[in-house]
Protein backbone atom coordinates (compact mmCIF):
# COMPACT_ATOMS: atom_id res chain seq x y z
CA UNK A 1 0.00 0.00 0.00
CA UNK A 2 1.24 3.48 -0.87
CA UNK A 3 1.01 6.63 1.21
CA UNK A 4 -2.15 8.20 2.61
CA UNK A 5 -3.32 11.81 2.35
CA UNK A 6 -6.13 13.39 4.35
CA UNK A 7 -8.14 16.01 2.44
CA UNK A 8 -10.40 18.66 3.98
CA UNK A 9 -13.31 20.32 2.15
CA UNK A 10 -13.81 24.02 1.53
CA UNK A 11 -16.76 26.36 1.44
CA UNK A 12 -19.78 24.92 -0.36
CA UNK A 13 -19.70 21.59 1.50
CA UNK A 14 -21.59 22.95 4.51
CA UNK A 15 -25.01 21.46 5.31
CA UNK A 16 -27.27 22.05 8.30
CA UNK A 17 -27.11 19.00 10.58
CA UNK A 18 -23.50 18.08 9.70
CA UNK A 19 -21.70 16.39 12.59
CA UNK A 20 -24.82 16.40 14.77
CA UNK A 21 -25.30 12.63 15.10
CA UNK A 22 -21.62 12.12 15.87
CA UNK A 23 -21.64 14.88 18.52
CA UNK A 24 -24.69 13.31 20.17
CA UNK A 25 -23.00 9.93 20.51
CA UNK A 26 -19.44 11.01 21.36
CA UNK A 27 -18.46 13.43 24.15
CA UNK A 28 -15.03 14.24 22.69
CA UNK A 29 -16.58 15.17 19.34
CA UNK A 30 -19.17 17.30 21.14
CA UNK A 31 -16.38 19.16 22.97
CA UNK A 32 -15.05 20.63 19.69
CA UNK A 33 -18.40 22.25 18.96
CA UNK A 34 -18.55 23.59 22.53
CA UNK A 35 -15.01 24.99 22.26
CA UNK A 36 -15.92 26.77 19.01
CA UNK A 37 -18.99 28.33 20.68
CA UNK A 38 -16.83 29.54 23.55
CA UNK A 39 -14.11 30.95 21.29
CA UNK A 40 -16.51 32.85 19.04
CA UNK A 41 -18.92 34.00 21.74
CA UNK A 42 -22.11 32.68 20.11
CA UNK A 43 -23.73 29.31 19.46
CA UNK A 44 -22.08 28.24 16.22
CA UNK A 45 -23.01 24.65 17.10
CA UNK A 46 -26.73 25.46 17.07
CA UNK A 47 -26.34 26.99 13.60
CA UNK A 48 -24.38 23.94 12.40
CA UNK A 49 -26.85 21.40 13.80
CA UNK A 50 -30.14 23.18 13.12
CA UNK A 51 -29.51 25.82 10.43
CA UNK A 52 -31.11 27.71 8.79
CA UNK A 53 -29.01 26.77 5.74
CA UNK A 54 -29.03 30.35 4.37
CA UNK A 55 -27.43 31.68 7.54
CA UNK A 56 -24.97 28.78 7.76
CA UNK A 57 -23.88 29.47 4.16
CA UNK A 58 -22.80 33.06 4.90
CA UNK A 59 -19.01 33.15 4.49
CA UNK A 60 -18.42 34.32 8.07
CA UNK A 61 -20.37 31.33 9.43
CA UNK A 62 -19.57 28.65 6.85
CA UNK A 63 -15.82 28.90 7.37
CA UNK A 64 -15.67 28.25 11.15
CA UNK A 65 -18.56 25.78 10.84
CA UNK A 66 -16.72 23.62 8.30
CA UNK A 67 -13.42 23.76 10.17
CA UNK A 68 -15.12 22.77 13.45
CA UNK A 69 -17.09 19.91 11.93
CA UNK A 70 -14.16 18.54 9.93
CA UNK A 71 -11.78 18.59 12.93
CA UNK A 72 -14.41 16.93 15.15
CA UNK A 73 -14.83 14.15 12.55
CA UNK A 74 -11.04 13.90 12.19
CA UNK A 75 -10.63 13.42 15.95
CA UNK A 76 -13.12 10.56 15.86
CA UNK A 77 -11.50 8.97 12.80
CA UNK A 78 -7.95 9.24 14.20
CA UNK A 79 -8.89 6.86 16.99
CA UNK A 80 -9.03 4.11 14.35
CA UNK A 81 -5.23 4.39 14.15
CA UNK A 82 -5.07 5.60 10.54
CA UNK A 83 -2.52 8.42 10.16
CA UNK A 84 -1.71 10.55 7.10
CA UNK A 85 1.61 11.02 5.34
CA UNK A 86 0.36 14.34 3.90
CA UNK A 87 -2.59 16.67 4.45
CA UNK A 88 -4.24 19.21 2.16
CA UNK A 89 -7.41 21.27 2.12
CA UNK A 90 -9.30 23.18 -0.54
CA UNK A 91 -9.16 26.93 0.18
CA UNK A 92 -10.75 27.21 3.65
CA UNK A 93 -9.92 23.50 4.07
CA UNK A 94 -6.23 24.42 4.16
CA UNK A 95 -6.83 25.79 7.67
CA UNK A 96 -8.40 22.51 8.72
CA UNK A 97 -5.34 20.73 7.29
CA UNK A 98 -3.07 23.04 9.33
CA UNK A 99 -4.99 22.24 12.53
CA UNK A 100 -4.70 18.53 11.63
CA UNK A 101 -0.94 19.01 11.15
CA UNK A 102 -0.70 20.78 14.55
CA UNK A 103 0.57 24.00 12.97
CA UNK A 104 -2.49 25.83 14.36
CA UNK A 105 -4.42 25.15 17.54
CA UNK A 106 -8.10 24.33 17.02
CA UNK A 107 -9.24 27.51 18.81
CA UNK A 108 -6.88 29.73 16.81
CA UNK A 109 -8.02 28.03 13.61
CA UNK A 110 -11.70 28.71 14.37
CA UNK A 111 -10.96 32.33 15.26
CA UNK A 112 -8.75 32.90 12.20
CA UNK A 113 -11.28 31.60 9.67
CA UNK A 114 -14.11 33.58 11.27
CA UNK A 115 -12.03 36.76 10.79
CA UNK A 116 -10.98 35.60 7.31
CA UNK A 117 -14.65 35.26 6.37
CA UNK A 118 -15.44 38.74 7.71
CA UNK A 119 -12.59 40.36 5.77
CA UNK A 120 -13.51 38.49 2.58
CA UNK A 121 -17.10 39.73 2.88
CA UNK A 122 -15.92 43.32 3.44
CA UNK A 123 -13.27 43.43 0.69
CA UNK A 124 -15.64 43.94 -2.24
CA UNK A 125 -19.16 45.46 -1.97
CA UNK A 126 -21.83 42.79 -2.46
CA UNK A 127 -22.74 42.34 -6.12
CA UNK A 128 -19.56 43.90 -7.52
CA UNK A 129 -17.58 40.68 -7.73
CA UNK A 130 -18.46 37.10 -8.59
CA UNK A 131 -17.17 33.69 -9.73
CA UNK A 132 -18.06 31.15 -12.43
CA UNK A 133 -17.08 27.55 -13.16
CA UNK A 134 -15.75 26.97 -16.68
CA UNK A 135 -16.06 23.37 -17.90
CA UNK A 136 -14.17 21.81 -20.77
CA UNK A 137 -11.53 24.44 -21.54
CA UNK A 138 -7.81 23.99 -20.80
CA UNK A 139 -6.02 26.38 -18.48
CA UNK A 140 -3.79 27.98 -21.13
CA UNK A 141 -6.75 29.02 -23.28
CA UNK A 142 -8.69 30.23 -20.26
CA UNK A 143 -5.68 32.16 -18.96
CA UNK A 144 -5.42 33.93 -22.33
CA UNK A 145 -9.14 34.81 -22.13
CA UNK A 146 -8.89 36.26 -18.61
CA UNK A 147 -5.74 38.23 -19.44
CA UNK A 148 -7.43 39.77 -22.47
CA UNK A 149 -10.53 40.78 -20.46
CA UNK A 150 -8.42 42.13 -17.58
CA UNK A 151 -6.34 44.20 -20.04
CA UNK A 152 -9.63 45.73 -21.20
CA UNK A 153 -10.22 47.12 -17.70
CA UNK A 154 -12.40 44.45 -16.06
CA UNK A 155 -10.26 42.27 -13.75
CA UNK A 156 -10.81 38.52 -13.82
CA UNK A 157 -8.47 35.57 -13.20
CA UNK A 158 -8.26 31.82 -12.64
CA UNK A 159 -9.25 31.09 -9.04
CA UNK A 160 -9.65 27.33 -8.54
CA UNK A 161 -7.91 24.81 -10.81
CA UNK A 162 -9.92 21.87 -9.54
CA UNK A 163 -9.37 19.04 -12.01
CA UNK A 164 -8.94 18.55 -15.76
CA UNK A 165 -11.70 20.51 -17.48
CA UNK A 166 -13.00 22.27 -14.35
CA UNK A 167 -11.62 25.72 -13.57
CA UNK A 168 -13.30 28.50 -11.59
CA UNK A 169 -12.73 32.13 -12.59
CA UNK A 170 -13.11 35.08 -10.22
CA UNK A 171 -13.12 38.86 -10.43
CA UNK A 172 -15.33 41.86 -11.13
CA UNK A 173 -18.87 41.02 -12.24
CA UNK A 174 -18.25 42.56 -15.68
CA UNK A 175 -14.92 40.73 -16.00
CA UNK A 176 -16.42 37.34 -15.13
CA UNK A 177 -19.36 37.89 -17.50
CA UNK A 178 -17.09 38.91 -20.40
CA UNK A 179 -14.63 36.06 -19.75
CA UNK A 180 -17.55 33.59 -19.54
CA UNK A 181 -18.81 34.65 -22.97
CA UNK A 182 -15.31 34.52 -24.49
CA UNK A 183 -14.64 31.11 -22.90
CA UNK A 184 -17.71 29.71 -24.68
CA UNK A 185 -16.45 31.20 -27.96
CA UNK A 186 -13.11 29.43 -27.34
CA UNK A 187 -14.85 26.07 -26.93
CA UNK A 188 -15.85 25.77 -23.24
CA UNK A 189 -18.64 23.18 -22.91
CA UNK A 190 -20.46 25.05 -20.15
CA UNK A 191 -20.03 28.06 -17.90
CA UNK A 192 -21.88 28.03 -14.59
CA UNK A 193 -22.21 31.22 -12.52
CA UNK A 194 -21.57 30.42 -8.83
CA UNK A 195 -23.71 31.54 -5.91
CA UNK A 196 -20.97 33.30 -3.96
CA UNK A 197 -20.81 36.56 -2.05
CA UNK A 198 -17.55 37.77 -3.56
CA UNK A 199 -14.63 37.29 -5.98
CA UNK A 200 -12.60 34.90 -3.82
CA UNK A 201 -9.01 33.99 -4.77
CA UNK A 202 -8.67 37.06 -6.99
CA UNK A 203 -6.57 40.23 -6.77
CA UNK A 204 -9.72 41.99 -5.50
CA UNK A 205 -9.15 40.16 -2.20
CA UNK A 206 -5.86 41.98 -1.50
CA UNK A 207 -7.51 44.43 0.95
CA UNK A 208 -8.74 41.39 2.94
CA UNK A 209 -5.24 39.92 2.88
CA UNK A 210 -3.75 43.07 4.39
CA UNK A 211 -6.24 43.05 7.28
CA UNK A 212 -5.82 39.32 7.77
CA UNK A 213 -2.07 39.68 8.14
CA UNK A 214 -2.67 41.23 11.59
CA UNK A 215 -4.83 38.27 12.67
CA UNK A 216 -2.10 35.79 11.73
CA UNK A 217 0.51 37.90 13.54
CA UNK A 218 -1.57 37.63 16.73
CA UNK A 219 -1.85 33.84 16.78
CA UNK A 220 0.81 31.17 17.19
CA UNK A 221 1.75 29.24 14.06
CA UNK A 222 4.06 26.28 14.62
CA UNK A 223 5.98 24.02 12.26
CA UNK A 224 3.66 21.33 10.87
CA UNK A 225 4.22 17.76 12.11
CA UNK A 226 2.94 16.37 8.77
CA UNK A 227 3.71 18.09 5.43
CA UNK A 228 0.85 20.28 4.23
CA UNK A 229 0.44 20.69 0.46
CA UNK A 230 -0.04 24.43 -0.04
CA UNK A 231 -2.86 25.71 -2.28
CA UNK A 232 -0.65 28.50 -3.61
CA UNK A 233 2.36 26.40 -4.68
CA UNK A 234 1.03 22.80 -4.83
CA UNK A 235 4.14 21.76 -2.88
CA UNK A 236 4.92 20.67 0.67
CA UNK A 237 5.26 23.17 3.49
CA UNK A 238 6.14 22.55 7.13
CA UNK A 239 7.86 25.71 8.41
CA UNK A 240 5.80 28.20 10.43
CA UNK A 241 7.25 31.16 8.49
CA UNK A 242 6.23 29.72 5.12
CA UNK A 243 2.77 28.77 6.40
CA UNK A 244 2.19 32.36 7.53
CA UNK A 245 3.12 33.91 4.19
CA UNK A 246 1.25 31.30 2.12
CA UNK A 247 -1.97 31.92 4.06
CA UNK A 248 -1.79 35.64 3.18
CA UNK A 249 -1.12 34.85 -0.51
CA UNK A 250 -3.87 32.22 -0.55
CA UNK A 251 -6.58 34.87 -0.20
CA UNK A 252 -5.85 36.42 -3.60
CA UNK A 253 -4.08 33.56 -5.43
CA UNK A 254 -5.47 30.56 -7.34
CA UNK A 255 -6.08 27.28 -5.52
CA UNK A 256 -3.89 24.81 -7.44
CA UNK A 257 -5.94 21.78 -6.46
CA UNK A 258 -5.30 19.54 -9.49
CA UNK A 259 -1.56 20.30 -9.20
CA UNK A 260 -1.69 19.50 -5.46
CA UNK A 261 -3.21 16.08 -6.12
CA UNK A 262 -0.63 15.39 -8.83
CA UNK A 263 2.16 16.42 -6.44
CA UNK A 264 0.93 13.98 -3.79
CA UNK A 265 0.79 11.22 -6.41
CA UNK A 266 4.45 12.02 -7.24
CA UNK A 267 5.21 11.71 -3.52
CA UNK A 268 3.76 8.19 -3.47
CA UNK A 269 0.19 8.83 -2.30
CA UNK A 270 -2.36 6.38 -3.70
CA UNK A 271 -5.06 6.66 -1.03
CA UNK A 272 -6.98 9.89 -0.42
CA UNK A 273 -9.35 10.18 2.55
CA UNK A 274 -11.72 13.16 2.54
CA UNK A 275 -12.62 14.10 6.11
CA UNK A 276 -15.62 16.35 6.69
CA UNK A 277 -19.04 16.88 5.13
CA UNK A 278 -19.62 15.95 1.49
CA UNK A 279 -17.63 14.11 -1.17
CA UNK A 280 -16.60 16.97 -3.49
CA UNK A 281 -12.85 16.45 -3.14
CA UNK A 282 -13.06 12.67 -3.60
CA UNK A 283 -14.81 13.34 -6.90
CA UNK A 284 -12.10 15.77 -8.01
CA UNK A 285 -9.35 13.26 -7.15
CA UNK A 286 -11.04 10.62 -9.34
CA UNK A 287 -11.15 13.12 -12.22
CA UNK A 288 -7.38 13.55 -11.92
CA UNK A 289 -6.73 9.79 -11.86
CA UNK A 290 -9.45 7.12 -11.74
CA UNK A 291 -7.05 4.47 -10.42
CA UNK A 292 -6.56 6.26 -7.08
CA UNK A 293 -8.34 4.99 -3.98
CA UNK A 294 -10.68 7.56 -2.44
CA UNK A 295 -12.74 7.44 0.74
CA UNK A 296 -15.01 9.97 2.45
CA UNK A 297 -15.49 10.08 6.23
CA UNK A 298 -18.36 12.20 7.56
CA UNK A 299 -20.00 10.16 10.35
CA UNK A 300 -19.59 7.07 12.54
CA UNK A 301 -20.80 4.67 9.84
CA UNK A 302 -18.45 5.91 7.12
CA UNK A 303 -15.58 6.01 9.63
CA UNK A 304 -16.11 2.34 10.46
CA UNK A 305 -16.49 1.35 6.80
CA UNK A 306 -13.29 3.17 5.77
CA UNK A 307 -11.32 1.76 8.70
CA UNK A 308 -12.39 -1.80 7.86
CA UNK A 309 -11.61 -1.32 4.18
CA UNK A 310 -8.11 0.01 4.94
CA UNK A 311 -7.40 -2.82 7.39
CA UNK A 312 -8.43 -5.30 4.69
CA UNK A 313 -5.90 -3.74 2.30
CA UNK A 314 -3.13 -3.85 4.90
CA UNK A 315 -3.57 -7.59 5.50
Do residues 300 and 208 share a domain? yes
Do residues 187 and 303 share a domain? no
Q: Nearest CA to 30 among 67, 80, 66, 73?
A: 73
- Which is catalytic among the residues 13, 35, 197, 201? 201
Q: Read off the pLDDT of residues 176-217 as tens digits, 9 standing for 90 and up.
A: 999 999 999 999 999 999 988 889 999 999 999 999 999 999
Residues 6+ apart with CB under 8 A from 298: 18, 73, 275, 276, 277, 278
Alpha carbons within 13 A on the beta-carbon side of 31: 6
Of 196, 222, 239, which marks where a domain is finished?
Answer: 196
Of 160, 175, 196, which marks where a domain is finished?
Answer: 196
Do residues 212 and 109 share a domain? yes
Q: Indicate whether 36 pLDDT > 70.
A: yes
Neighbours of 21 (CB within 10 A): 15
Cα 315 to Cα 90: distance, rounded to the nearest angstrom:
32
Do residues 16 and 164 share a domain? no
Do residues 21 and 119 share a domain? yes
Containing domain of residue 168, as a range?
A: 129-196
Cα 298 to Cα 281: distance, rounded to the nearest angstrom:
13
Do residues 13 and 69 share a domain? yes
Is 90 annotated as catalytic?
no
Do residues 212 and 115 share a domain? yes
Q: Read off the pLDDT of residues 251-291 as tens digits, 9 standing for 90 and up.
A: 999 999 999 999 999 999 999 999 999 999 999 999 999 99
Of 196, 215, 249, which marks where a domain is finished?
Answer: 196
Q: Nearest CA to 101 among 232, 242, 281?
A: 242
- Which is catalytic among the residues 91, 172, 282, 298? 91
Is 201 annotated as catalytic?
yes
Reported confidence tier of residue 312, pLDDT bands at 50, 70, 90: confident
Residues 6+ apart with CB under 8 A from 265: 288, 289, 292
How many distinct structural domains can be found in the chain?
2
Amino acid sequence: MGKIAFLFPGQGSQAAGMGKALAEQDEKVKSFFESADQKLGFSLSQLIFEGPQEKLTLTTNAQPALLTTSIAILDYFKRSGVAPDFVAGHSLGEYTALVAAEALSFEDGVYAVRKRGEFMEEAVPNGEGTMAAVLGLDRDKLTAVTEEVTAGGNPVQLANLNCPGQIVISGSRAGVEQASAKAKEEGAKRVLPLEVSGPFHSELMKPAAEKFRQVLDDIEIKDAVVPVIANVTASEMTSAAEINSRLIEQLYSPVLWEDSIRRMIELGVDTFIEIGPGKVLSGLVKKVDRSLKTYAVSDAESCQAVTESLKEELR
